[in-house]
Structure 1
Amino acid sequence: MFLKSSFVLSVIAAASYTCQAQSQLVASQIMASVINMNGIEANFMFAPLANNGGAQVWIEVKSGLTKKFAVSPTGGFEYHIHVKPVGPNNDCVATGGHLDPGNVGAAKCTAAKPDTCQEGDLSGKHGELKATESGSIPPQSYNDKYIRFSGETTTIAGRSVVIHNNGTRVACGNIYPFDQSSSPSTSAKGDSSAPDGQVTSLHSGTSSGGQVVATMAMGVAGAVFGALMAF
């Protein structure tokens, strides 16, 4: 399975309004997550910023997050980095709790004070993925200075991205190096998890986001990241 080449174009478009940070991007250690289950198709990319400055995050949702499907009164879908990879048969429950090496807990998170949030609570820090009539969401990008690419308990590598519908885990995909040709290890990178409330998961779907071969090309700060992604 490959990421669609259209994602590359979406990434470039999303990056256009964050050019002030592009000069800080690190060309190595780029991580990606592909979600394709239960009608939800979404792509995530995490590019390290220099001097351990966190990550620039790109997100594209191609389908599945419709207003009809959304349960939350806010009309949004939460999404987080969880401590463990996706289980067999796309089991999102197997991903464990949120990545929370600082043990801050979920209840304390406010977007105005991101330092009160778990490292993996992306929607808490940056807002939910808002449902649309079509289910697709325009590409978006932001910087998150709390994301880490190293450290046994802090790295996002080998973990997973999980999308929730009012607490229920509805789709998930592994986080892997962009040039990895096989699924990452099913062992967790530490046990810095946090309680996750409801852990109901829908298991249907056709593929795990970890089984990906990807090459990216992208001019950022004069560096070419590479680019051919197609399912």
Structure 2
Amino acid sequence: MSKPSLKTEKRGPFTIRPRKRDGSLTGAWVVDIPPHVSPSGKRVRETHETKTAALNAAERMLRDLQLMGAIRGDGAVKPSGITFAEFAERWLEKQSDRVATGKKRSSSLLTNAYQVKALLKTFAVKDISRVVTKDIEDYQKKRTVEDACKPPTINGEVATLVQILSWAQELQLIRQVPRHEGIPVSPRKVSIPTPEEVTRIVEHLADRTGLLALFLAETGCERTRRFRLSGPI
């Protein structure tokens, strides 16, 4: 029975080579998985007892990559050459200009900055043309399961991601913005006091504060407007 060749081989992005320890061959084989196809985003080296086992493992992973590419729909998309991090930075600069001209509130820009910071942990080095629906679904799952974020937070981050990609589409850097489904948000339960309860509350307040509380209860005036009307209490 002939011995397997010690020649290093390639299967797609995977490299199959003999394992060495202290400069000597161990008889085992390594499948080198580069960061861009590794589930962890870091380089991984899988060890197998034989070259045949290593080749079979590499071919299986290559088939999985090809199948996932077909499901994701990004295999036929030509890369733009622009990473999400690069483009998101330009988008934030554009939003800053909108704040300067009064087209956007500074508080909204601050919120966007926090949302982009969260998005960068997943999409930073990804080509903007390769962000597809599956990526958004995976992001929603990660933020829900691993990070324990609430649906409104995740939906806000995804909304900002969509705004960034929409600008990329406007500039003809991508063909289309991937579709996605937002995470359902349970309606907030608001406890509204009855007229009798309002009366009892007002009775225990100082005259001016009680008058303001009664005014709010009867008119439903929004928070910012009521402070302008009431002045210092």
TM over 0.5: no
Q: Higher relative contact order by CA 8 Å / sep ≥ 6: 1 or 2?
A: 1
TM-score in terms of structure 1 length: 0.22
TM-score in terms of structure 2 length: 0.22
Larger radius of gyration between Structure 1 and Structure 2: 2
